[in-house]
Structure 1
Amino acid sequence: MGRLLKFWLVMVTALWATLAGAQLDQRVVDIPTRPGVSQRLLVLTPTAPRAVAILFAGGHGGLQLTAEGAFRWGEGNFLIRSRKLFVEQGFVVVVVDAPSDRQSPPFLSGYRQRPDHVADVKTVIAWVRAQARLPVWLVGTSRGTQSVAWVASELSGSDAPDGLLLSATILTDKGGHPVPAMPLAALRMPVLVVHHERDECMHCAFSEVPALMDKLVAVPRKKLLSFTRGVSRGDPCEAFAYHGFNGIERDVVAQAAAWILGE
């Protein structure tokens, strides 16, 4: 009897996933940002959206998104491979590629704290708000946290996002811009920090997370979600190690969404 019940639960779950996929609206959009420059986005919209999650991958960030919605790079990135999990939680998902003038190496490397990057993301936020009157969250993982934290610290008022989700945050970086060294006191929106306690990436030691949380002095609401489970494979700074929440993606997204949506 137990096996039969398990079988039907699996069947119902599969049917629900099929129906949800059939109801998913997916499109690729190019929006102008700066003179002669456009920003390509992959937009996934559920039937009953509750908020918007603008996703920033780690690494060099050059997804090289095709007009058909395929990724030439980054499909395995934690946020990219989990994008439909956010949709299942009621988020309009907006995946951000490198802009049209950064479509070759080094892509976003060395660019995430540049004024042009801030201008591009500001335009994306405005475009999203014109499409849907919903809370807009910037969501970054690994090097993507350097984008969202910096951009949010540079924007204010109606230009700023409604919240930030920082996952596998870059906490130390001798030659770059670690997130705790940014002007986080300027942030005036809720911030959710998601980190794996066993993250072995040299830039993301869990022992450095308290220093990050202490820098969030002016935010109206903050939370640390930490995880210990999962599977670690390969380079400790890559997406299928603990750094990328390998094997626990659904749980991570579900807990993050519950906090963001106030559930």
Structure 2
Amino acid sequence: MIVDSRMMLGFVLLLTSDKYWTHMKLRIILITLLAITCQTFAQPIKVNRFDDADEFLPKAEQRNKNKIRLFLRQQDEETLFKVTSPRNVTIDVISNVPANAEYGVIFLLGGTSVLSIVNERLDRSFSFQPRSRDYWWKNKFATFLVDAPSDRLDKNGIGDTLWRTGKDHQADLQAVVLEIEKRFKMPLVIHGHSNGAISNANIAQLKNPSVKAFIYSGSAFMGRGADILSRVEHTTPVLIIHHRSDRCSVSPSNGVANFVERLIAPEKVTLWVEGGVDAMSGDCGPFAPHSFIGREEATINSAAEQIKQWLHK
């Protein structure tokens, strides 16, 4: 191939010209800015939400002879805010801060932890913590109800308790706690129920100074990943709440003494619950002694009293 010498000379002059290199620098800067912008505004990872209310509630309503409250929709004074985790997922938090709130409680749910949220409002979440959160308000507690992360809103949610012991979950929970600290300046308590006990232990490892106590209720101390419960060194008091008739396979009441003995904390108190109504779900379900059905208000009043005693020392 014959190359015209004038063309070659022109190309060499272009490469050596200030104008060419100025243009190239601008292109590099623009490409870099575009990459940063795309990363900054990348959409959080999200899957479709699975709402199991239609699966559980009809059967429970048929068996609900005592007219026990089965769920509590979002109240007018509650708000929903979203927390973005470092791993590019969001976590919904349903919050209420009463005017007289002196303390705050963060709820880490059991089961799959996927809340029933419709049109950005809490709908028919029926597990122990969501259906009874208003009893905390009467005890001067703000409440923060934590949803599953946006990449785990399917039917399985975060039912995998081994996943709950990991760094991804810890990063999500830490992001939630830090955001709540910005919004609420009073002492915090973290309450994990059933599978949420594993989550509780995971975040306890970070020893957030604003967290003054932990509550473990119906703890899944015989599930996968439960060894984390005896590894974590709590630096604050721990309240253990359990129903004497709990027959759930991962939290049988006859195993509580051993569970409590293995917990590492400067102070431990066990609150035993008795009574309630006949179960309207399986042993590990939301409407069984495992979740204090029929004893919600009394249980929360006793828990709030113990927490206040610790915080007022």
Q: How does the TM-score come out when normalised to structure 2?
A: 0.70
Whichever of the two has the greater Rg, that structure is 2
CA distance in 1, matches of 2:285, 2:208: 35
Structure 1 residue 193, shift from structure 2 partner: 0.3
Query: What secondary structure is seen at the aligned counterpart in 2 of 1:97?
Result: strand
Percent identical among aligned pairs is: 26
CA distance in 2, matches of 1:252, 1:209: 17
Is the Cα–Cα contact under 8 Å of residues 118 and 151 in structure 1 kept in the other structure? yes
Match of 2:148 in 1: 98
Match of 1:237 in 2: 284
- For the aligned residue pairs, the C-alpha RMSD in angstroms reads 2.0
| CA distances 1:137-183 after superposition (whole Å, capped 9, x unpaired) | 1111111111112221x21353x73211111011212xx12267541
Of 60-69 and 188-197, the range deviating more from structure 2:
60-69
Q: How does the TM-score come out when normalised to structure 1?
A: 0.82
Unpaired runs of 5+ residues, structure 1, are 1-22
Residues matched between the structures, number: 233
Match of 1:177 in 2: 225
CA distance in 1, matches of 2:185, 2:278: 39
Question: Judging changes above 3 Å, is the alpha-carbon distance between structure 1 residues 101 and 252 closer, same or farther for their aligned structure 2 residues?
Answer: same
| CA distances 1:79-132 after superposition (whole Å, capped 9, x unpaired) | 110111111211110000011121223211223112111111111111111112
Once the two structures are superposed, the pairs formed by residues 117-196 of structure 1 within 5 Å of their partners are 117-152=169-204, 154-158=205-209, 161-173=211-223, 176-178=224-226, 181-184=229-232, 186-196=233-243
Unpaired runs of 5+ residues, structure 2, are 1-74
Is the Cα–Cα contact under 8 Å of residues 200 and 236 in structure 1 kept in the other structure? yes
CA distance in 2, matches of 1:245, 1:31: 30
What amino acid sits opposite 2:103 in the alignment? A
What amino acid sits opposite 1:25 in the alignment? E
Match of 1:250 in 2: 297
CA distance in 1, matches of 2:227, 2:247: 17
What amino acid sits opposite 2:259 in the alignment? L
What amino acid sits opposite 1:213 in the alignment? V
Structure 1 residue 226, shift from structure 2 partner: 0.1
Once the two structures are superposed, the pairs formed by residues 1-263 of structure 1 within 5 Å of their partners are 25-71=77-123, 75-110=125-160, 111-152=163-204, 154-158=205-209, 161-173=211-223, 176-178=224-226, 181-184=229-232, 186-217=233-264, 219-233=265-279, 234-262=281-309
Match of 1:8 in 2: none
Structure 1 residue 191, shift from structure 2 partner: 0.5
Question: Judging changes above 3 Å, is the alpha-carbon distance between structure 1 residues 204 and 143 closer, same or farther for their aligned structure 2 residues?
Answer: same
Is the Cα–Cα contact under 8 Å of residues 40 and 65 in structure 1 kept in the other structure? no
What amino acid sits opposite 1:200 in the alignment? R
CA distance in 2, matches of 1:56, 1:138: 7
What amino acid sits opposite 2:225 in the alignment? H
- After TM superposition, the runs of 4+ consecutive aligned structure 1 residues lying more than 3 A away are 179-182
